[in-house]
């Protein structure tokens, strides 16, 4: 089986090596390999059911892989039970003890380790200070807001100083505003503590705003592993392009320079695929240049091509507007983001052009135009 590129580095803290995990006949994680570096903020991202939680639980030791290995500092963890791994998993539900105060909740894990009382007290005070919980030390979880409860759960995980902190949808219970604050907070804490975080999320914006690198999973397989910017600017598949951010996905046939779109002609892309296969152009709405035209016109020489269409919808978003532009030959309207000051309105005729350096061509998973299997990228 081919192994996708960019997964392994020499000095990994954690190495997931060809891990497959299954529940009976359901393969939840399918031959996944990746490295996580010391001090990295790493995200496992993908739609519901793609296997993120299973992979996290396998790293934590709550599931055993059917095959493959998981190594920390080069040593396999597979024979080490969950509670002895230098890894801490923060659950989706936080699982706080309702009858214990905030400080007792945080101290619980250290007491279980039988640390001296003075050391426990010092570490608990220190972490409460860092996370902003000191004033709530004596309260019980029921007397806290969702965001504060989330902080307690985080403090409880951090106080144990694991080599690796695994967080399963840590912010999913919070409303949008608190979630955004906590995203920044998590990033700050991770940075200050110099710890390695692996966060599971299905929210691409959350992953993009926090993580140094993101592994995008689909149906148990690793689709792409990259920095947020690279995933956005150079998705390697149609799935990643669609999952990360907003994109116009235009299907056609690969040429030497780009993709030929039915009814529109050739659009050039930054990197061409093997000619003849089915391919999809990925064009971000902000990369579509829009100009109002008085008369229908147009040329399509491919390089910075202009396509003329009609604005069928304009959504005002404050500083920018999103236009939906109907182009002859395209099944779905093309989305373009413009500065609000351009004052283009519904019904206007517009010329669209794309900078070839910003256009990405990816293979269309429906296979080659000839019906042969897809060529590797
Ligand atoms: N205990 C289980 N028994 C059987 N199948 C399971 C079990 N847990 C998960 N699965 C299946 O394994 C696959 C991966 O599940 P997993 O929970 O890892 O996905 P996920 O990406 O974390 O999803 P979500 O975001 O919905 O939590 C899914 O098809 C799921 O139905």
Domain boundaries along the sequence of the chain: 12-233, 247-368
Q: Whose CA is nearest to atom 5 of ligand 1?
A: 23
Q: What angle do CA 172, 221, 67 make, to 5 degrees?
A: 105
ipTM (interface predicted TM): 0.96
Rounded to two decimals, the pTM is 0.86
CATH architecture of 247-368: Beta Barrel (2.40)
Q: What is the edge-to-edge ordering of all strands in the sheet holding 360-368?
A: 265-268, 258-261, 248-254, 277-283, 360-368
Q: What angle do CA 362, 366, 367 make, to 5 degrees?
A: 75
Dist. CA 200 → ligand 1 center (Å): 13
pLDDT digit string, tens, across residues 267-310: 999 988 888 899 999 999 999 999 988 654 444 444 455 889 99
Q: Whose CA is nearest to atom 18 of ligand 1?
A: 51
As a whole number of angstroms, the distance between CA 374 and CA 180 comes to 40
- In the predicted model, what is the mean pLDDT of residues 106-115? 87
Q: Indicate the pairing of strand 248-254 with strand 258-261.
A: antiparallel
Which region among 98-107, 309-318, 363-372 has the lowest average model confidence (pLDDT)? 363-372
Ligand 1 pocket at CB < 6 A: 23, 26, 28, 46, 48-54, 202
pLDDT digit string, tens, across residues 155-164: 898 888 888 9
Q: What is the pLDDT of residue 92?
A: 63
**Superfamily (CATH H level) for 12-233:** P-loop containing nucleotide triphosphate hydrolases (3.40.50.300)
Dist. CA 189 → ligand 1 center (Å): 29
Residue 95 tokens read as: 């699982």
Pocket test for ligand 1, best of 22, 26, 32, 89 (most atoms within 8 A of CB): 26
Dist. CA 26 → ligand 1 center (Å): 9
Nearest to 149 by CA among 168, 174, 125: 174
Ligand 1 atom closest to residue 220's alpha carbon, by position in its atom list: 14
Q: Check if the beta carbon of residue 228 is closer than 8 Å to that of residue 210.
A: no
Pocket test for ligand 1, best of 20, 28, 65, 221 (most atoms within 8 A of CB): 28
């Amino acid at each position: 089986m081919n192994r996708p590129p960019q997964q392994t580095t020499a000095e990994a803290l954690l190495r997931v090596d060809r891990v497959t995990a299954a529940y009976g006949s359901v393969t939840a994680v399918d031959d996944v390999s990746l490295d996580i570096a010391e001090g990295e903020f790493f995200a496992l991202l993908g739609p519901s059911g793609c296997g993120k939680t299973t992979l996290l639980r396998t790293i934590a030791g709550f599931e055993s892989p059917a095959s493959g290995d998981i190594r920390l500092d080069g040593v396999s963890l597979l024979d080490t039970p969950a509670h002895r791994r230098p890894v801490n998993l923060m659950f989706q539900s936080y699982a706080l003890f309702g009858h214990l105060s905030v400080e007792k909740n945080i101290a619980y894990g250290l007491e279980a380790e039988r640390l001296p009382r003075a050391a426990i007290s010092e570490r608990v005070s220190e972490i409460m200070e860092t996370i902003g919980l000191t004033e709530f030390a004596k309260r019980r979880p029921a007397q806290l807001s969702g965001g504060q409860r989330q902080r307690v759960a985080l403090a409880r995980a951090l106080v144990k100083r694991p080599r690796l902190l695994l967080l399963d949808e840590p912010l999913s219970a919070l409303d949008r505003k608190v979630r955004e604050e906590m995203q920044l907070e998590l990033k700050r804490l991770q940075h200050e503590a110099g710890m390695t975080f692996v966060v599971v999320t299905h929210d691409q914006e959350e992953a993009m705003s926090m993580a140094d690198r993101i592994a995008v999973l689909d149906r148990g397989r690793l689709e792409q592993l990259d920095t947020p910017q690279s995933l956005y600017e150079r998705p390697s598949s149609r799935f990643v392009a669609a999952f990360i951010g907003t994109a116009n996905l235009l299907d056609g046939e690969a040429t030497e320079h780009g993709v030929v779109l039915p009814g529109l002609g050739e659009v050039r892309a930054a990197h061409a695929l093997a000619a003849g296969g089915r391919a999809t152009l990925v064009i971000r709405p902000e990369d579509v240049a829009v100009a109002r035209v008085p008369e229908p016109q147009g040329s399509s020489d491919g390089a910075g091509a202009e396509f003329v269409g009609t604005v069928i919808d304009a959504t005002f978003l404050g500083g920018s507007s999103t236009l939906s532009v109907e182009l002859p030959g395209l099944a779905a309207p093309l989305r373009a983001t413009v500065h609000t000051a351009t004052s283009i309105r519904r019904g206007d005729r517009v010329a669209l052009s794309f900078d070839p350096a910003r256009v990405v061509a990816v293979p269309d998973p429906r296979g080659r135009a000839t019906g042969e299997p897809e060529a590797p990228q």
